[in-house]
Amino acid sequence: MASVTFEGTTCLFPGSNSPAVDKLDLQIEDGEFLVLVGPSGCGKSTTLRMLAGLEEVHSGRILIGDRDVTGQEPKERDIAMVFQNYALYPHMTVAENMGFALKLAGTNKTETRARVEEVAKMLDLEPYLDRKPKALSGGQRQRVAMGRAIVRQPQVFLMDEPLSNLDAKLRVQTRTQIAQLQRRLATTMVYVTHDQVEAMTMGDRVAVLDKGILQQCASPRELYNRPKNVFVAGFMGSPAMNLFTLPLTDRGVAFGDVVVPVSRETLNGTPETEVVLGIRPEHLEIAAAGIPMDVDVVEELGSDAYVYGRTTIGGSPQQIVARGDWRNPPQKGDRVNLRVDPGKVHIFASSDGRRLG
């Protein structure tokens, strides 16, 4: 087991205008489950591949424990990676696939077999040890790929979208299994996904990347409750947080008849004339008075409902979404009034998107 440290780590690709990963500073604790998340092209795979030794580091360095691995070959790093496509050897049985790295490392047959059987038991793969990958389901192949990594007892596991080839139900089951397994093995895990639900449910901490830059690294709860900027606020949460650019007055910012105070200290002396007001869908209530919303779509989920519609705030038309467990949710075509608890809103600078206060 070991910690992982990125220190000002940068990766440039030839011909690309901006770095794929730009001066990344990130410390991952020994035994931690760290999820890298962000939209397509944000640099999460490149970060993982630099750690694996598959992508060149142009400046800065990477440490595993106190070893500087920046210039090391992948095989010297004591890591095991699970890829999106599993990369199993088709001509080998499950047992041979799982034991291959040990065989290469010169481990004797008896020990290899014992380790493979132990891990196969952990992953419910015992009945399939003599099968070839083509005779397995997608979920079983995924478990073989994980088993192959676990058998090696590496210091760090790396996983790049390992669930993306599974159907929705299996994804949910498997993400729980992976999270439980990691806690049981207590091996440091760096896990890449573009799916924010996966990130929130699996990670001890989640690192959010955008355009090659780390935006925030925090616990799922902290990311959701105190996003550091507009990007994180809009990315984490489904449906996404409502974000409105509104004028700032001496009293604060007004959402209908509710005025959210914004103190001058909060602004840190920056001359903001507008701010971005963020409201999670579950913090909007249907009330007798408030901001009027014309309902376009209602999604009933059984336990609660999402209501999508249009409103006019700050003089311009805006899309808005509310979520609640109303016994009788509004219907398409209805006009309802929305109110917000001023204690539940998020305020960001409109100039650079940073959180205010």
**Residue 51 in the binding site for ligand ATP (CB under 6 A):** no
CA distance 176 to 316: 43
Give φ, ψ of 296 to 5 degrees: -100, -45
Residues in binding contact with ligand ATP, number by CB under 6 A:
12
CB distance 60 to 231 below 8 Å: no
> Which listed residue (2, 20, 94, 291) binds ligand ATP by CB under 6 A?
20
CB of 332 to ligand ATP, least distance (A): 35
Instruction: Identify which of residues 12 and 63 has a Cβ nearer to ligand ATP in the complex.
Output: 12
**Residue 165 in the binding site for ligand ATP (CB under 6 A):** no
User: Under rule CB under 6 A, which residues in 176-215 are in contact with ligand ATP?
Assistant: 194
CB of 208 to ligand ATP, least distance (A): 11
Are β-strands 156-160 and 188-193 bridged in parallel, bridged antiparallel, or unpaired? parallel
229, two tokens: 């900027």
Instruction: Identify which of residues 83 and 89 has a Cβ nearer to ligand ATP in the complex.
Output: 83
**Residue 226 in the binding site for ligand ATP (CB under 6 A):** no
Question: Which residues are 354's β-sheet partners?
Answer: 229
Helical packing angle, 138-151 and 109-122, nearest 10°: 130
Are β-strands 284-287 and 253-255 bridged in parallel, bridged antiparallel, or unpaired? unpaired
Instruction: Identify which of residues 117 and 195 has a Cβ nearer to ligand ATP in the complex.
Output: 195
CA distance 278 to 109: 59
| Sequence-distant (≥ 6) Cβ neighbours of residue 43 within 8 angstroms | 11, 19, 20, 21, 22, 209, 211, 212, 213
Give φ, ψ of 284 to 5 degrees: -100, 130
CB of 37 to ligand ATP, least distance (A): 9
**Residue 16 in the binding site for ligand ATP (CB under 6 A):** yes
CB of 149 to ligand ATP, least distance (A): 19
> Which listed residue (9, 45, 174, 187) binds ligand ATP by CB under 6 A?
45
CA distance 142 to 149: 11
Which of 12-20, 139-147, 213-221, 241-249 is the region at the interface with ligand ATP (rule: CB under 6 A)?
12-20
**Residue 13 in the binding site for ligand ATP (CB under 6 A):** yes
Question: Which residues are 59's β-sheet partners?
Answer: 10
> Which listed residue (2, 9, 34, 38) binds ligand ATP by CB under 6 A?
38
Instruction: Identify which of residues 1 and 12 has a Cβ nearer to ligand ATP in the complex.
Output: 12
- Counting Cα atoms < 13 Å in the Cβ hemisphere of 194 gives 9
CA distance 108 to 106: 6
- For residue 115, CA distances in Å to 55, 121, 181, 188 come to 31, 10, 16, 20
- Counting Cα atoms < 13 Å in the Cβ hemisphere of 37 gives 28
Which of 25-33, 36-44, 132-140, 245-253 is the region at the interface with ligand ATP (rule: CB under 6 A)?
36-44
CB of 307 to ligand ATP, least distance (A): 31
Question: What's at 119, amino acid-wise?
Answer: V
**Residue 41 in the binding site for ligand ATP (CB under 6 A):** yes
CB of 202 to ligand ATP, least distance (A): 17
Which of 39-47, 73-81, 309-317, 320-328 is the region at the interface with ligand ATP (rule: CB under 6 A)?
39-47
Which of 38-46, 181-189, 317-325, 345-353 is the region at the interface with ligand ATP (rule: CB under 6 A)?
38-46
CB of 269 to ligand ATP, least distance (A): 35
**Residue 44 in the binding site for ligand ATP (CB under 6 A):** yes
| Sequence-distant (≥ 6) Cβ neighbours of residue 29 within 8 angstroms | 3, 188, 204
> What does the binding site for ligand ATP look like in residue numbers (CB under 6 A)?
13, 16, 20, 38, 40-46, 194
